[in-house]
């Protein structure tokens, strides 16, 4: 261990580079695109969104006495809600994508490589969320616009037909993209919290799909107060064209759902930072 | 340089690593040995900042791993085989790690070439054999051109060419002044490559010594002498610090004197010798002796040469 032999070690003793947020984002970007499952999930969410939207619009018939639009929670169909018929399934797909991005690293052991490269850990969580949220935002917002445009063909001549310029339409379609982006980030948080693909996806399903149905177990007054503030009901308020009496406004829905996502991310950050890998 | 000080890791009431202190120095290959469950992997995970110590500390080049702005340039680690997503190609895996540190694509291609993975760099890692997975892990460890490398079982699953490659690579890195720490259960391989040994059992330090000292001490540093005049020879070669043991009437095992000295004494007194052999324990034997003791007596620190008390003649003054 002499000084001369140390100085011979090339470059090893002069690391000028360092881990930067930009580098971590680039790394997560590459990690995202270099897995086949990411492509499949993005493609699936787009296909589901377009197919459901187009089919719902094409098969739409005005409500008659015996057929009052089952499936629409607030009972009133409009061109936007028809275009976004696939929303529950799309939210599961992009949420599962978020879960898999993190939980998949735990189940394969990749997380050890990831965290030895970025031992501060939190940049990994935030970069993953940002990358998947951004991609999902762009894809689902475009998908919603396309589904709406294609649906307009099917709805041509119907009373509920709308155009993009009508009040609230663009806001709803973009709000849908923002909701999906937040769902994807929510999935990342659940994946980091539970560290297991199965656990993450089932809790995502439970929180988004099953939780709102459990309100029937609560006293009515409590249920009425809580239900609009559940993650998925608050989130859906972000992209519904017409506000029903007991739901939040789009802005309030955004704040509440973003709050849930922030809470989940904070819990995930705590677990990531504090516990062994 | 890696320095562990009183490093401790407890899981509930089970202590995996127990007040472990050792140093991995630059310019040396330090072998990290211990039976299964001795706490080697846990220790390495704590060095790499993946597990937090319950007590004590471990530093890499003077700082906790996570405090380094660019850890891949300080220390390269191979922890467990396949800390890799099987769906990603080798090249993309390394590139993803490289991006975090702003390491250029050129360096990624370099380590792929170095690890002999050029022909499979674009293939999904899930299709790799154990040996190719190990090569990828070693390539990842070299990515940042670090001053320290720490490899857990690096030769597992490698073919003979790969084993030779790892041996030469690590020897070369140590000779360049880098610190090399590796664990292995292959004692013959370890005997070829290690300069220094850190041996643990049940989470505790059993030995921190050089390879030469360890094997010499384990053999008692002795010389086996066979003669039909053992009882006559015994007092002639006795002296301070000379220990003579005997297992049969014609055999003596002498420590504290070289074979040459014993031969000279025997010749000058006309004692015929039928055999005069310096004892050299293999690393394997020495290791087994040491860790067997550790299991039987929990934590006997193995500083002293094992001695057969029944037939020992401590002829010290």
User: Which of B200, B215, B230 is the C-terminal boundary of a domain?
Assistant: B215
B139 and B274, same domain (yes or no): no
B199 and B229, same domain (yes or no): no
The closest alpha carbon to A109, from B37, B132, B88, belongs to B88
Q: Please judge whether B93 and A113 are an interchain contact, meaning their C-beta atoms are less than 8 angstroms apart.
A: yes
Cα A68 to Cα A3, A52, A82, A222, A247: the distances in Å are: 85, 19, 14, 28, 20
Domain count, chain A: 1
The closest alpha carbon to B117, from B98, B104, B96, B132, belongs to B132
Binding-site residues on chain A for chain B (CB distance < 8 A):
1-2, 5-13, 15, 17-20, 23-24, 26-28, 30-31, 34-37, 104-105, 108-113, 115-120, 276-277
- Give every residue of chain A whose pLDDT is below 70, as ranges: 1-16, 63-76
B144 and B263, same domain (yes or no): no
B274 and B186, same domain (yes or no): no
B209 and B239, same domain (yes or no): no
Q: How many angstroms separate the CA atoms of A79 and A148, rounded?
A: 7
Q: What is the pLDDT of residues B187-242, one digit of tens each?
A: 888 989 999 999 998 899 998 998 888 877 776 667 889 999 888 898 888 888 88
Q: According to the model, what pLDDT value does residue A225 have?
A: 84
Nearest residue of B to residue A119, measured between CA atoms = B66
Residues of A in contact with B134 (CB under 8 A): none
pLDDT above 70 covers what percent of chain B? 91
Q: What is the pLDDT of residues A105-151, one digit of tens each?
A: 999 999 999 999 999 999 999 999 999 999 999 999 999 999 999 98
Question: Residue B274 belongs to a domain with what CATH number?
Answer: 3.30.70
The closest alpha carbon to B131, from B109, B106, B154, belongs to B154
Q: Does A14 fall in a domain?
A: no
Q: How many angstroms separate the CA atoms of B117 and B104, rounded?
A: 18
Domain count, chain B: 2
Q: How many angstroms separate the CA atoms of B108 and B94, rounded?
A: 6
Q: Using a cut of 0.95, tell me whether the model's pTM lies above it.
A: no
The question of ipTM being above 0.95 is answered as no
The parent domain of residue A223 ranges over 21-60+70-274
Measured between CB atoms, does B34 come within 8 Å of chain A? no
Exposure of B270 by Cβ count < 10 A (0-12 exposed, 13-18 middle, 19+ buried)?
Answer: exposed
B165 and B21, same domain (yes or no): yes
Q: Does A34 fall in a domain?
A: yes
């Amino acid at each position: 261990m002499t000084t001369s032999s140390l100085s011979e070690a090339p470059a090893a003793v002069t690391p000028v580079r360092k881990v930067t947020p930009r580098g971590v984002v680039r790394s997560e970007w590459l990690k995202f695109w270099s897995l086949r499952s990411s492509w499949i999930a993005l493609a699936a969410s787009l296909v589901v969104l377009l197919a459901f939207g187009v089919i719902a619009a094409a098969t739409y018939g005005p409500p008659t006495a015996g057929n009052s639009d089952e499936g629409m929670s607030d009972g009133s169909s409009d061109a936007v809600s028809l275009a976004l018929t696939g929303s529950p399934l799309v939210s599961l797909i992009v949420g599962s994508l978020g879960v898999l991005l993190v939980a998949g690293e735990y189940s394969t052991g990749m997380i050890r490589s990831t965290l030895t490269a970025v031992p501060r850990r939190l940049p990994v969580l935030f970069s993953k969320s940002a990358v998947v949220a951004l991609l999902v935002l762009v894809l689902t917002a475009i998908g919603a616009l396309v589904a709406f445009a294609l649906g307009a063909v099917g709805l041509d001549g119907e009373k509920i037909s709308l155009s993009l310029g009508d009040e609230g339409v663009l806001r709803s379609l973009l709000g849908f993209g923002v909701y999906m982006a937040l769902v994807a980030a929510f999935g990342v948080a659940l994946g980091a919290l539970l560290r297991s693909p199965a656990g993450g996806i089932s809790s995502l399903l439970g929180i988004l799909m099953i939780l709102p149905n459990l309100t029937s177990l609560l006293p009515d007054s409590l249920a009425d107060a809580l239900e609009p503030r559940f993650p998925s009901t608050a989130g859906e308020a972000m992209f519904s064209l017409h506000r029903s009496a007991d739901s939040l406004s789009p802005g309030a829905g955004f704040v509440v759902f973003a709050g849930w996502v922030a809470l989940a991310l904070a819990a995930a950050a705590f677990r990531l930072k504090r516990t062994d890998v | 340089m890696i320095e562990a000080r009183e490093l401790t890791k407890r899981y509930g009431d089970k202590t995996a690593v127990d007040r472990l202190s050792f140093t991995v120095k630059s310019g040396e290959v330090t072998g990290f040995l211990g039976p299964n469950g001795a706490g080697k992997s846990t220790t390495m995970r704590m060095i790499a900042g993946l597990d937090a110590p319950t007590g004590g500390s471990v530093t890499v080049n003077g700082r906790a791993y996570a405090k380094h702005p660019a850890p891949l340039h300080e220390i390269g680690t191979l922890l467990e085989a396949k800390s890799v997503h099987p769906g990603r190609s080798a090249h993309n895996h390394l590139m993803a790690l490289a991006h975090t540190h702003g390491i250029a694509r050129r360096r990624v291609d370099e380590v792929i070439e170095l690890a002999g993975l050029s022909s499979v760099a674009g293939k999904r890692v899930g299709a790799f054999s154990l040996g190719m997975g190990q090569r990828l892990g070693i390539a990842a460890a070299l990515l940042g051109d670090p001053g320290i490398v720490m490899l857990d079982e690096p030769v597992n699953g490698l073919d003979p060419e790969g084993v030779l490659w790892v041996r030469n690579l690590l020897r070369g890195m140590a000779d360049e002044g880098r610190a090399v720490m590796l664990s292995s259960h292959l004692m013959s391989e370890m005997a070829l490559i290690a300069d220094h040994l850190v041996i643990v059992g049940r989470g505790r330090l059993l030995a921190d010594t050089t390879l030469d000292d360890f094997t010499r001490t384990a053999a008692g540093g002795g010389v086996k002498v066979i003669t039909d005049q053992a009882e006559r020879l015994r007092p002639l070669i006795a002296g301070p610090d000379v220990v003579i043991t005997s297992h049969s009437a014609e055999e003596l095992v002498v420590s504290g004197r070289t074979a040459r000295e014993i031969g000279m004494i025997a010749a000058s007194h006309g004692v015929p010798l039928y055999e005069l052999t310096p004892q050299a324990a293999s690393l394997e034997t020495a290791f087994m002796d040491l860790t067997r003791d550790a299991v039987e007596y929990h934590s006997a620190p193995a500083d002293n040469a094992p001695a057969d008390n029944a037939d020992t003649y401590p002829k010290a003054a």
